[in-house]
Amino acid sequence: MAKYMFLVDLNYCISCHACEVACKTWNNVPTDRGIRWRQVVNEVFGEGTDVLQYAVSLACNHCNEAPCVKACPTGAMYRRAQDGIVLVDQQKCIGCRYCAAVCPYGAPQFDPVAKKTSKCTMCVDRLSEGKLPACVDTCPTQALQFGEASEIARRGVRQITRFPNPLYSDPSIRFIPKEV
């Protein structure tokens, strides 16, 4: 079975948040608890006339060396061997938040009502039906893309400004940098 990756083209993200809404809607993510499995972040950096701004859609990067999986004391956080998708077994999660503490991307989200951690599932249910993740399927500009890791890994770059060092976790995401 294939391993998957996300690709974010910073030239086309218009910060519309459609990906966030699609994620919350498809996955029934609570809207009143501060839980955001996917979120659009607006970055501005530089000085004077050398200012650059871009929006980037981020979620769990389903890392090949997932620190959240390594930190989970119960095995609730796990990486599927067949496709590399990192998931949370809600039956095993004890809400300790170790996964959230070690994730450099802020992907695991603690639900104060359920007292458990959850995160992006890469829409495994949709993938099993041959569909794209809801966030990708909804992106109006195709800034957010998805595909087999063997294809996506050849496109874009592994790191952009203010994105954590990918050597730590080997995230399954690539970026096409903003053209200046």
Instruction: Quickly state the pLDDT bin for 16 (edges 50, 70, 90).
Output: very high
Q: If you average pLDDT over residues 22-42, what whole number do you get?
A: 95
The number of angstroms, rounded, from the C-alpha of 67 to the middle of its chain's C-alpha atoms is 14
Name the residue with tokens 């590399």.
84
19-46 b/e (C-beta count within 10 Å ≥ 16 → b): bbebbbebbebeeeeebbbbbbeeeeee
Q: What is the pLDDT of residue 136?
A: 98
The string of pLDDT tens digits covering residues 104-128 is: 999 999 999 999 999 999 999 999 9
In percent, the amount of the chain with pLDDT more than 70 equals: 99
For 4-66+121-176, CATH gives 3.30.70.20
The string of pLDDT tens digits covering residues 57-80 is: 999 999 999 999 999 999 999 999
Q: What is the pLDDT of residue 1?
A: 65
Q: What does the alpha-carbon distance between residue 116 and residue 66 come to, in Å, rounded to a whole number?
A: 19
Model pTM above 0.85: yes
What Rg value do the Cα atoms of the chain yield, rounded?
16
Q: Taking the C-alpha atoms of 72, 75, 81 and 85 in order, what is their torsion angle to the nearest 10 degrees?
A: -60
Q: What is the mean pLDDT of the chain?
A: 94
Domain locations in the chain as residue ranges: 4-66+121-176
Q: What is the pLDDT of residue 50?
A: 83
Q: What does the alpha-carbon distance between residue 109 and residue 97 come to, in Å, rounded to a whole number?
A: 8
User: Is residue 142 within 8 Å of residue 18, measured between CB atoms?
Assistant: no
The string of pLDDT tens digits covering residues 38-60 is: 999 998 888 888 888 889 999 99
User: Is residue 146 within 8 Å of residue 154, measured between CB atoms?
Assistant: no
Q: What does the alpha-carbon distance between residue 47 and residue 23 come to, in Å, rounded to a whole number?
A: 35
Decide if pLDDT at 36 tops 80. Answer: yes
- Paired sense of beta strands 50-58 and 144-148, if any: unpaired
